[in-house]
Amino acid sequence: MKRLAAHRVLIATTGELLSLQVVVTEGGSVSWHPLAGEEPFTEMLGGLLVVAPCPVRLMPGESFAQFRIRLVAEAARTASSGWEVYWVTPFRVADERLLPGSRCIKLQS
């Protein structure tokens, strides 16, 4: 089991952007809940976590709004039994913006 906390969590199937969440991965399942305080064995990651049933990638020159719309469309076309967690870094939380050096890293469950 892995516990990750982030300033923002994007749910690919709905496009919902959640603030201050803890994402818990165990096997092929993923769950999330609000961060209510310090939680033991939880790694805090800056920026954005993406929870998705499909591979997540950033396209050159793509804005965050474009990325979000594309990701929801890709997730809708995906019939997957498992969810994955991706870390987008750097990500500017204050104005929800991808930066020129932003990259997407698949995190191991």
Note the CATH number of domain 2-107. 2.30.40
Q: Is 31 exposed, middle or buried (0-12, 13-18, 19+ CB in 10 A)?
A: exposed
| pLDDT tens for the 109 residues of the chain, in order | 889 999 999 999 999 999 999 998 887 788 889 998 888 899 999 999 999 998 999 999 999 999 999 999 999 998 776 889 999 999 999 999 999 999 999 997 5
Look up the pTM and report it.
0.92
Question: Which amino acid would we find at residue 30?
Answer: V
**Residue extents of the structural domains in the chain:** 2-107
